[in-house]
Amino acid sequence: MLHLSKKVEYGLIAIRHIASQPVSEVITAKELSDKYQIPFDMLAKILQKLSKKGLIVSYQGVRGGYVLGRRSDQIKLSDVIYAIEGKQNVSLINCEKENPDSCNIYQTCTIKNPLSKIQNIINGMFDEMTISEIV
Partner DNA sequence: TTAAATAGGACTAAAATGGTCGTATATTAA
Partner DNA sequence: TTAATATACGACCATTTTAGTCCTATTTAA
Residues that bind DNA (CB under 7 A): 1, 3, 5-7, 28-30, 39-42, 44-45, 47-48, 51-52, 58-66, 89
Which of these ranges, 21-29, 50-58, 67-75, 122-130, lies near a second copy under the rule CB under 8 A? 122-130
Q: Which residues contact 125 (CB under 8 A, 6 or more apart)?
A: 77
Min dist CB 74 to DNA, Å, is 20
Which of these ranges, 46-54, 55-63, 68-76, 107-115, lies near a second copy under the rule CB under 8 A? 107-115
Residue 51 in the binding site for a second copy (CB under 8 A)? no
- Tell me the three-class secondary structure of the chain, residue by residue: CCCCCHHHHHHHHHHHHHHHCCCCCCECHHHHHHHHCCCHHHHHHHHHHHHHCCCEEEECCCCCEEEECCCHHHCEHHHHHHHHHCHHHCCCCHHHCCCHHHCCCCCCCCCHHHHHHHHHHHHHHHHHCEHHHCC
59 versus 132: smaller Cβ distance to a second copy: 132
109 versus 128: smaller Cβ distance to DNA: 109
10 versus 65: smaller Cβ distance to a second copy: 10
Residue 106 touches which of DNA, a second copy, none (Cβ within 5-8 Å per kind)? none
44 versus 134: smaller Cβ distance to DNA: 44
